[in-house]
Amino acid sequence: MKSFIVLLLILFCNQALAAHLHKEKYYQDEWCDRVGGVKEYRLDDGTRVDCLTDEYAIEFDFAPKWAESVGQSLYYAERTGKLPGVVLIMEEDHDVVFLERLNALAVLYNIKVWTME
């Protein structure tokens, strides 16, 4: 019984440590409101652009999901006729590794990159 309780505590603590400081929507709301964009812009296929501005179709993602953000931003840009953009949410010091990976592709595909901490 003791080992079961210890196992539960370990699992609970690991999940608590893996949680983000804020949900993605928190960052999206703050940033998109500041630049005057449209949040959750719905496309005709049911997908949603996290923030659509006059110039950019922007995807928000946490740093470990940097690769997903590339594909989504390119797709949203193609569907809206805007330029692709990514806001990478960086909550940890080691997230700089993910930013470097994103920037390598951003140069190739002309994706504008912003960060939030």
Instruction: Render pLDDT for 43-96 as a digit per residue (tens, 0 to 9).
Output: 999 999 999 999 999 999 999 999 999 999 999 999 999 999 999 999 998 999
pLDDT at 85: 98
Prediction pTM value: 0.81
**pLDDT bucket at 18, cuts 50 / 70 / 90:** low
21-116 has CATH 2.30.30 classification: no
pLDDT at 34: 96
Going from the C-alpha of 50 to that of each of 3, 13, 55, the distances in angstroms are 44, 31, 14
Give the start-to-end residue ranges of the domains of the chain. 21-116
